[in-house]
Structure 1
């Protein structure tokens, strides 16, 4: 009887000690304070327009937004490797490539769903098959415009060696077309609008988004550009990440609804004339979608790129941990 009582008392002491220890641990696990500043980097392009307003008038509690405008993807990825940016706007395939290289990042959202077009000054050009034997100017080799162009040529029965692809920077191609030096080109918005406004013969021939849906299914979207977040930042500041995502989503929606109001900041910071930006928005598909909700479309897109050019996505499809949970 006495032995049983001693055992029961010993168990009670252990349970009490464990309970106190757990309570102490919970008390010490205070959430990290909101960061004073979020560093975001983004290119000169449509998905950056909403960030300009956030940088000037942050609606985040106790947190400001510092926006870095980068000129090349190489510049942006260098900062990602060094951990010098909390969020980075990148082509979705580049984000997958970084993840597959074991960089500690996740895809936070997708914002741009098709801004590429085949444009020409040739009034007789109508189909992809009409490009056989022609000189087609495309952005940098291995870029998403290049791979998607080759993908759509293939889907429309045009062999790779039947079209001469010439690779230059997209702004250079646009200027050459304005000057009458290029007849056939693949360009993104707002460069498409810039060309059309300055060369009356130039016109849109094919919309990559529509042709992608023809090839992959009418319910499939074309997730070209998104935003990654550093894993350490997301883990330390989950509420800030959520607040930032919400603020970006709201500002993006406002930019789409009223591009005229967004135009002054775009002209000031992105070296883009307001009329060009405003008109380009009619051909720019911007929509904020959480990465987890975009997973199916991203998988379809990356699978197509993987089949055509494995290097474009880092040699394999990213697993589910690539996608930031809501």
Structure 2
């Protein structure tokens, strides 16, 4: 990736919350929203497959990326957004604060890694006394790191945390040697490895694997984000949602088998250079797991966050009807 593409990418990550993308070929009452992150790639692939006549979905639908978490919350509250990929803990929080919303699926088993110089650490315990850039305080990367440290008996207060306002800023801290390590989501992790070759970089800790090891392999991973819908949207579009879930699974299979082509679609939707997306796809743990089929994984993750601070989930564990059975 050359410097121009890198700067374009870093700007896209920092500003994607300000400049949304809309993919709409025909007027349609159905719009699926997503963040400027890798799970939204599957929305773009599903849309293109429909345009090519390869989809099981008969209804036309549009795809848009939302601007900021505040825009997402406001859109769900006023009804302008009725279906969107969201961080899983945000979904529970919104439901517990009175929004009539349901979780349809999970679309990644973990996007978070810690980047550093090869061989520099082998466990979270090794981070004590070391400097780490962490984006978005009290958001998913930070919460995952705190949860894993607590489960492993690591003193989080002994880690020299440098919080940043954006993921791109955390990456820049590491690239400029302001910190020894950075907690990053894909595809930023892949970009950091490309840009930091002189630092002998690697994913020094895979947080999904740490989570799985802590639970003796009985968990599939960290259910970080999934599709949330309003109850009204579900009632009006039951058949569409059933077909959409199936189409997302087909889109995932196609994306994993055709990473170069999928990366081009993702680049258009996410405004991120396709080489970064192609490199990230194998490490993003993308999935299309029906929420009703993975209740134990969800409850384990949510209980871990609840035990840290109930307010992360809006004060309580999710109600039974929060998980949608299509």
Range of TM-score over shorter length = 0.7 to 0.9
Once residues 196 and 61 of structure 1 are traced to their aligned partners in structure 2, the CA distance between those partners, rounded to angstroms, is: 38
Once residues 90 and 74 of structure 1 are traced to their aligned partners in structure 2, the CA distance between those partners, rounded to angstroms, is: 12
The answer to whether 1:170 aligns with 2:133 is: no
Which string of whole-angstrom CA distances, capped at 9 and with x for unpartnered residues, describes residues 228-285 of structure 1? 1110111122112212222222112211222111111222231222121111112110
Task: Determine the structure 2 residue equivalent to 1:10.
Answer: none
1:94 to 67, 90, 93: 90
Q: Secondary structure at the match of 2:30?
A: strand
Equivalent residue runs for 1:175-324 within 5 Å:
175-200=172-197, 201=199, 202-221=201-220, 222-324=222-324
Contact 2:119 2:204 in 1 (8 A): no
Task: Determine the structure 2 residue equivalent to 1:149.
Answer: 145
Once residues 75 and 231 of structure 1 are traced to their aligned partners in structure 2, the CA distance between those partners, rounded to angstroms, is: 19
1:47 to 33, 36, 39: 39
Task: Determine the structure 2 residue equivalent to 1:133.
Answer: 129
Q: CA deviation at 1:181?
A: 2.9
Task: Determine the structure 2 residue equivalent to 1:77.
Answer: 73
Contact 1:147 1:309 in 2 (8 A): no
Once residues 269 and 237 of structure 1 are traced to their aligned partners in structure 2, the CA distance between those partners, rounded to angstroms, is: 24
Contact 2:103 2:322 in 1 (8 A): yes
Aligned length: 292
TM-score (norm 1): 0.85
TM-score (norm 2): 0.85
Which consecutive unaligned segments of at least 5 residues does structure 1 have? 1-34
Q: Quick check: which has more Rg, 1 or 2?
A: 1
Task: Determine the structure 2 residue equivalent to 1:7.
Answer: none
Task: Determine the structure 2 residue equivalent to 1:11.
Answer: none
| Shift in alpha-carbon separation, 1:153–1:287, aligned structure 2, 3 A | same
Which consecutive unaligned segments of at least 5 residues does structure 2 have? 1-26
Q: Secondary structure at the match of 2:234?
A: helix
Which string of whole-angstrom CA distances, capped at 9 and with x for unpartnered residues, describes residues 86-113 of structure 1? 3110111110111111201100111110
Contact 1:267 1:274 in 2 (8 A): yes
Once residues 188 and 57 of structure 1 are traced to their aligned partners in structure 2, the CA distance between those partners, rounded to angstroms, is: 27
